[in-house]
Amino acid sequence: MRQQQAGFTLVELMISLVLFSFAIAGVLAVAVSMSQGFREQRAAVEAESSVRVPIDFIVDAIRQSSPGAPTGNIQDAGTCSTGALTIANNQTSLSNNPTVSGWDSLDVIFASGGVVTSSRTAYAGGTTSLDVDDATQLVAGDSVVISDTNQGHLVQITAVTGSTLTLAAQCGTIALPSAGYPAGSLVIRAQHATFTIDSVDTIPTLMMDPDAGGPAAPQPLAEGVEDL
């Protein structure tokens, strides 16, 4: 008597293959979705990491803004612009596309490095040099705020000789105190910077102008920052 053989029919095999294909497709879809999620999360972490340092720098600059003049009464002696912390909306002067508008800017004068000394001579109209108690931490190219604790002026240093600072020329409409700044006034190393958003290779980028409109060109700080 012939013994009956066990096995799958062709129809059963085809159905099994179809069901197995569906299972594999589901697993692959989950794997692709998880991989995409990991990539997006990694990109977000990298963007956050790249922007954390410049944002911390801006926060520190704001905290140290208006050195020597708590009221914000500081004038840039070179440009005659006033104010230690100025926010402007809807700027129209992008460096690579002047026709684009809508960006904001932050202009701030802030203490730089905690360098503080005092003057030995007065600073008045037409003054181009200033003797200070300690000039060892100051170099040509630095800027200092000369202050009487109520009002201050930001002045750029063009040369340092011993304890004497050679200063940049004053602007035409400088508004000094009536008697100028007497000997003994505070001299604080400071920086005048402007932060804006510009488009670099079509990517919105946080920019910093280290001398607020001076000869130095704005430098990119972080990519992917939409607005201030």
DSSP H/E element including 86: strand 85-91
pLDDT of 99 > 50? The answer is no
Rounded to 5°, angle at Cα 40 from 43 and 29 = 150
| 73 vs 97, more confident | 73
**Strand 85-91 and strand 129-131: pairing?**
unpaired
Q: What is the pTM of this model?
A: 0.74
pLDDT tens digits along 148-173? 999 999 999 999 999 999 999 999 89
Whole-number Å distance between alpha carbons of 200 and 224: 10
Most confident of 12-26, 38-52, 147-161: 147-161
Whole-number Å distance between alpha carbons of 76 and 202: 33
Confirm if 142 and 189 have CB atoms less than 8 A apart: yes
pLDDT (0 to 100) of residue 33: 82
Q: Which residue has the tokens 């004038």?
A: 75
| Cα→Cα distances 112→65, 101, 138, Å | 10, 31, 11
Mean pLDDT of the chain: 85
DSSP class of residue 185?
-
Whole-number Å distance between alpha carbons of 74 and 66: 7
Q: Name the band, by pLDDT with cuts 50, 70 and 90, for residue 94.
A: very low
> pLDDT > 70: what percent of the chain?
87
pLDDT tens digits along 188-212? 999 999 998 887 888 888 888 888 8
pLDDT of 101 > 60? The answer is no
Rounded to 5°, angle at Cα 125 from 121 and 130 = 25
pLDDT (0 to 100) of residue 133: 96
